[in-house]
Amino acid sequence: MVLNLSYAQAAVLAVTHEMNAHPNVVVMGEDVGRGGIFGQYKGLQERFGPARVIDTPISEAAIMGSGVGMALAGLRPVVEMRVVDFALCGMDEIVNQAAKNRYMFGGQGRVPLVARMPSGIWDASAAQHSQSLEAWFAHLPGVVVVCPSSAQDNYSLLRAAMQNDDPVVYMEHKTLWGLEGPVDEELHIPLGQAATLRSGPDLTLVSWSRQVHVCAQACEQLAALGIGVELIDLRTIWPWDREAVLQSCARTGRLLVVHEAIQAAGFGAEIVATVAEHLPCKVKRLGAPRIPVGYAPVLEAQARVSEQAIVQAAQQLMK
């Protein structure tokens, strides 16, 4: 069945399906009982009860540590961190426990845990609530990193993440919760598969999460200028779909990677380096300046990668 759902409603539907199918799936975190701060757990505690949708104290280290223990004991926890910025209080449990357990103990234990960490600039929320830290987790062996950009992806990729036997850092964008779109309940999207949203002969444009929508708007401007862009939504940061990107770049000969995260040491550098190592391709990356996100609108705007900046970067590559 195809439904028209918001990004948040799609997530609720995904968790509902998995909790119905697997009694060892549990949800835990602050405010999950009342539906979560974005409505991404709305109605789940009423449906499944407080033993499976568990409200926790305000301690990210305790929440994540409990989730790791539950996963090792045979449960499949969905661990809510509220926003990625708060997950920093539970980094030891993520980095040294969840990510490394399977390797350190020779595969005797698995940590099938989904850590939901809403990411990105949150309007008028300033520096401690607006970070994009996907490159941190991509650098971490042992975890999968997912950044869905649409309601369909949030449904299908969240289900795939919950079915995965290794820890998944699942990064929904803080401002996409109300975004609506068609959701096919039967559509399964594997982790690690990119989506080509637009075809074009002149330039490959790669992005993920909310920035995909800004890139799509830039593609319209570029089309009006006679530049045909192939737009790829990476969807999964690790593992990332190298073949899709390399095949596109082989056709266009030009690559622009755009992300909301700070440009310095961002994941875009990994993509352009990989393409440059394999193909005679012109490459460029575009990310945010290395500044904290300001509270005032004029300062927040300085930390965003705008549609016009993408158009200008693409035009430079075409020279």
In DSSP notation, 161-175 reads HHH-SS-EEE--BTT
What is the model's pLDDT at position 24?
98
Residues of the chain with pLDDT under 50: none
Peptide bond into 239 cis (omega under 30): yes
Exposure string over 17-50, b if 16+ CB within 10 A, otherwise e:
bbbeeeeebbbbbbebbebbbbbbbbebbeebee
How many C-beta atoms surround the C-beta of residue 264 within 10 A? 11
The structure tokens listed for 148 are 């869905």
* Cβ(213)–Cβ(205) below 8 Å: no
Distance CA 82, CA 119 (A): 9
The structure tokens listed for 236 are 């999964």
The structure tokens listed for 286 are 């575009």
What is the model's pLDDT at position 88?
96
Distance CA 24, CA 70 (A): 10
What is the model's pLDDT at position 164?
98
User: Residues for the chain: how many in total?
Assistant: 319
Domains of the chain from N-terminus onward: 2-184 (3.40.50.970), 195-318 (3.40.50.920)
Instruction: Give the pTM.
Output: 0.97
Tokens 């803080």 sit at which residue?
Answer: 174
Which has the closest alpha carbon to 98: 153, 33, 160, 170? Answer: 170
Distance CA 246, CA 38 (A): 36
Residue 48: which residues within 8 A CB-CB, separation 6 or more? 19, 27
Distance CA 123, CA 42 (A): 22
Q: What percent of the chain shows pLDDT beyond 90?
A: 100
Residue 106: which residues within 8 A CB-CB, separation 6 or more? none
Distance CA 157, CA 151 (A): 10
Q: Does 139 qualify as catalytic in the annotation?
A: no
Catalytic residue among 22, 129, 139, 278: 129
What is the model's pLDDT at position 149?
98
What is the model's pLDDT at position 286?
98
* Cβ(306)–Cβ(260) below 8 Å: no
pLDDT digits (tens, 9 = 90+) for 136-156: 999 999 999 999 999 999 999
